[in-house]
Amino acid sequence: MKELDNIDRQLISLLRSDARLSVSMLAKKIQVSRATIQNRMNRLEKNGTITGYTALGDSK
């Protein structure tokens, strides 16, 4: 497995904060292309670093 670089770590951090961010918004925040974000998300999903996207609700 390839080690995570700074862009991967930024991407994971942003997704942990808000998994609903669009690829375009992620690219803008990290200052890379949309294709870069999509390729990295695909790689991180394929290698098991990203295993899913979860919505949590308040049970109140």
The structural domains of the chain, with segments of one domain joined by +, span 6-46
Identify the pLDDT of residue 42.
Answer: 97
Identify the pLDDT of residue 36.
Answer: 98
Identify the pLDDT of residue 1.
Answer: 60
Could you list the mean pLDDT of each consecutive 10-residue stretch along the chain, which spans 60 residues?
90 95 97 98 95 83
3-state secondary structure of 54: coil
Identify the pLDDT of residue 14.
Answer: 97
Based on the number of CB atoms within 10 Å of its own CB, is 51 exposed (0-12), middle (13-18) or buried (19 or more)? exposed
Structurally, at CATH architecture level, domain 6-46 sits in Orthogonal Bundle (1.10)
Structure tokens given for 6: 């700074």
